[in-house]
Chains A and B, each alone.
Chain A
Amino acid sequence: MQLAGQPQAPNIIIRGSGSSLAAASVQERLESQYEAFSEDSFVCVGDIVPTDMQEGFLRGHGTQVVDGQLMATVCGRVERINKLVSVRPLRNRYSAELGDVVVGRVTDVAGKRWIVDLNARQEATLQLSSVNLPGGVQRRRTAEDELNMRSVFEEGDLISAEVQALHQDGSVSLHTRSLKYGKLAGGQLVTVPANLIKRQKHHFNTLPDMGVDVILGCNGMVWVAPNAPPPALGADGEPEQAPPRPPATREQRAAVCRMAGALRALAALYFPIFQATLVDAYQARKPGLVDAA
């Protein structure tokens, strides 16, 4: 940086071929559609947060009171909701909320539970009793199930799950008791800042036009994979356990890479990630940058 002089635009470098051009075209397209946040609302650590001479303000996250003045404890944007003044950091660790859809990596198989890394302050646990057993049978978990835990999830597996409970000490329990959750394979993981992914109605997005499925994990881990075939219905009309995916075709892989590139471009530009922004970023590609053929 320069200590004085003209402010410089930060250099944005996205890994992957031809991607800085892609980022530029994404920025061009999105900035016309979505409002970028104003620079005035940015504060640094130790800056006084203006409270507009309001008599009573409520101290929110990312602030402290020093000599009756509100001071920021993180670098970020000032947010005001009525009297509550808080500073939302630009980059922070994921903090779980009940019901969040997350994508995480299994780091350990411990007694009756898996330890899952969510890029959060602490590792999350997934109890053996909160997964669906293969075959979908409903019964008490036995010692044998405990021995066969690695046949469900192994160390290094990527899974999607939901936050089941938050505990007093800040630790998190997950569950995968639905067919939409479980092991992820045959796609690409993209990690973005967690605060770019807001809680929304649908975290599982199926985009048939592009032929990709996108799981927006609230913890900033996003899974991109080719469209899954629709689940076959069993004899009782209930959907069966998903069959193994067929190997992806070249076109599918190109679409997945392009979607992953769109995600990285959005993250580099610090745009919030929704289905709409993602589709826009995907379509902002300049012809000739990526060739699927």
Chain B
Amino acid sequence: MAFQNTVASTPYNTIKLPDTLSVKGARFEGRGYEHFRNIFMQPGMLSQAAGSAYVEFGNTKIMAGVYGPRESDRREAFSNTGRLQCDVKLATLATRQRGRFGQSDQEREMSAALVSALSGAVRRETFPKASVDVYAVVLEADGGELAVAATAAALALADAGIELSDLVSACNVSRVDGQLLLDPSAGEARRQDGSAMMAMMPATNLVTHLELTGTWSAAQATEVLQLCMGGCLQLDLAMRASLRQTAPG
């Protein structure tokens, strides 16, 4: 249950660790199978945005900004619920290989998944006709970008004072050589033969988004879902602590 604490954020990693899974119950960064990487979160980083958050899981670093509720830029038919729009952008400098300019399929897919992960929590009936725009920029990608983006976006929404039925936290689990690894880095995820990504609202105990790949036996599927839920619960506590700390007064 040990949660690795960091005092400061992780500096940019210039030398990547080798892509092998460590032996004897510990993983490369010296953490256990059910441990997160170093986690750093800070709401309220952007002065221009209504709300924002910067979140790191190890070397995966994401900045999320929330704008609105504001007048929708697209004219639409009248609706009594607001619109939630999400855009995930992978910075060209985020990966080892320089990224291409323009929206990629991966970004489009992640944006759609982020909408699905958040729309269960955002109370859209509280801002009729208006739209809330969530922008998440991946500054460095080292596995679990969508989970980190969902966590950062939920923090940013809470920071913006937008009504949420609960905070959303999200985490990944990979299966490598039959072993379940919580919060895999990109190197570990490359060797996976099955994976799970879950976004949930721990206080109300509802899952908003779930992605499961690979072949799972019923027993192992239960195990992986429980591991995800435990991970989300830990993140939720950390998110609450960070919101409490940045509260003025």
Residues of A bordering B, CB below 8 Å:
1-5, 7-8, 10, 36-37, 39, 42, 44-47, 62, 64, 66, 71, 73-76, 89-93, 121-123, 169-170, 269-270
In the complex, B176 has a CB within 8 A of chain A:
no
In the complex, B203 has a CB within 8 A of chain A:
yes
Task: Given A74-B158, A74-B162, A90-B248, decide whether A2 and B7 contact each other with a Cβ distance below 8 A.
Answer: yes
Task: Given A3-B238, A44-B243, A121-B130, decide whether A270 and B162 contact each other with a Cβ distance below 8 A.
Answer: no
Contact of A269 with B244 in the complex, beta carbons under 8 Å: no
* Residue of A2, A73, A269, A270 touching B163 (CB-CB under 8 A): A73
Closest A residue to B7 using CB positions? A2
B41 contacts across to A, CB distance below 8 A: 1
Closest B residue to A41 using CB positions? B249
In the complex, B190 has a CB within 8 A of chain A:
no
Contact of A45 with B166 in the complex, beta carbons under 8 Å: yes
Closest B residue to A8 using CB positions? B245
Task: Given A75-B159, A91-B159, decide whether A64 and B243 contact each other with a Cβ distance below 8 A.
Answer: no
Please, what's the 1-or-0 string for B122-148, where 1 marks a CB less than 8 Å from any CB in chain A? 010001111000000000000000000
- B74 to chain A minimum Cβ distance, whole angstroms, is 14
Query: How far apart are the CA atoms of A44 and B3 in the complex, in Å?
Result: 21
* Residue of B70, B203, B246 touching A1 (CB-CB under 8 A): B246
Task: Given A2-B5, A3-B241, A73-B163, decide whether A10 and B203 contact each other with a Cβ distance below 8 A.
Answer: no
Contact of A73 with B3 in the complex, beta carbons under 8 Å: no
B39 contacts across to A, CB distance below 8 A: 3
Contact of A1 with B40 in the complex, beta carbons under 8 Å: yes
Q: Which 5 A-B pairs have the closest CB atoms?
A: A46-B203, A270-B248, A89-B161, A92-B161, A46-B166
In the complex, B51 has a CB within 8 A of chain A:
yes
* Residue of B78, B127, B163, B239 touching A74 (CB-CB under 8 A): B163
User: Which of A5, A71, A92, A121 gathers the greatest number of chain B CB atoms within 10 Å?
Assistant: A121
Please, what's the 1-or-0 string for B39-60, where 1 marks a CB less than 8 Å from any CB in chain A? 1111000000011000000000
Please, what's the 1-or-0 string for B229-249, where 1 marks a CB less than 8 Å from any CB in chain A? 000000010111111111111
The number of A-B residue pairs with CB atoms under 8 Å apart is 111
Apart from the given pairs A44-B240, A121-B129, 14 other A-B contacts in the complex at a CB distance below 8 Å = A1-B40, A1-B246, A2-B5, A2-B7, A3-B3, A3-B39, A4-B3, A44-B167, A45-B158, A71-B165, A73-B164, A122-B130, A169-B78, A270-B248
Contact of B244 with A42 in the complex, beta carbons under 8 Å: yes
Closest A residue to B235 using CB positions? A3
A75 contacts across to B, CB distance below 8 A: 158-159, 161, 243, 247
Task: Given A1-B246, A42-B244, A46-B167, decide whether A121 and B42 contact each other with a Cβ distance below 8 A.
Answer: no
- Pairs A–B under 8 Å by Cβ, sample size 26: A1-B242, A2-B6, A3-B6, A3-B39, A3-B241, A5-B5, A45-B166, A46-B165, A46-B166, A46-B167, A46-B240, A47-B240, A64-B165, A71-B203, A74-B161, A90-B248, A91-B50, A91-B160, A93-B161, A121-B127, A121-B129, A121-B130, A122-B70, A122-B129, A123-B71, A169-B78
In the complex, B120 has a CB within 8 A of chain A:
no
- B68 to chain A minimum Cβ distance, whole angstroms, is 8
In the complex, B201 has a CB within 8 A of chain A:
yes
Query: How far apart are the CA atoms of A71 and B158 in the complex, in Å?
Result: 14
- B185 to chain A minimum Cβ distance, whole angstroms, is 19
Contact of B203 with A121 in the complex, beta carbons under 8 Å: no
- B230 to chain A minimum Cβ distance, whole angstroms, is 16
* Residue of B242, B246, B248 touching A269 (CB-CB under 8 A): B248
